[in-house]
Amino acid sequence: MSGIFPPPKEKCDDELCPFHGTLRVRGRILKGVVISDKMQRTVTVRIDYVRYDRKYKRYEKRFSKIKAHNPPCINAREGDIVYIGECRPLSKTVHFVVCHIEKKKK
């Protein structure tokens, strides 16, 4: 994980942290905006993408909401632009972990 993103400045003792724990990140890496941080150590990230509609021969905007684990050393908040990486299933709905914050909300 340290090859793609720089490690955070803070240290944490979270076992599910990709930098300080044993969690492996593999698969897709997505970029999105945090739309909710109300859960404990979990954030909801909105991923925007476009899809081609063959019938009307044009593109349409769509989005997905993905839940991701939020380690205490990264601590993403609502409005932040983040990169999330796919990992093993952490719970029923969480299959991603926050790897890097690109831009903090002011």
* pLDDT tens by residue, 32-69: 999 999 999 999 999 999 999 999 999 999 999 999 99
Confidence of residue 79 (pLDDT cuts 50, 70, 90): very high
3-state secondary structure of 3: coil
**C-alpha pair distances (Å), 41 with each of 15, 57, 96, 101:** 12, 42, 12, 15
Query: Is the per-residue pLDDT at 2 higher than 60?
Result: no
pLDDT at residue 1 in the model: 60
* pTM for the model: 0.90
Query: Is the per-residue pLDDT at 17 higher than 90?
Result: yes
pLDDT at residue 104 in the model: 84
Identity of residue 30: L
Whole-number mean pLDDT of the chain?
Answer: 93
**C-alpha pair distances (Å), 17 with each of 5, 32, 54, 63, 105:** 13, 19, 42, 26, 22
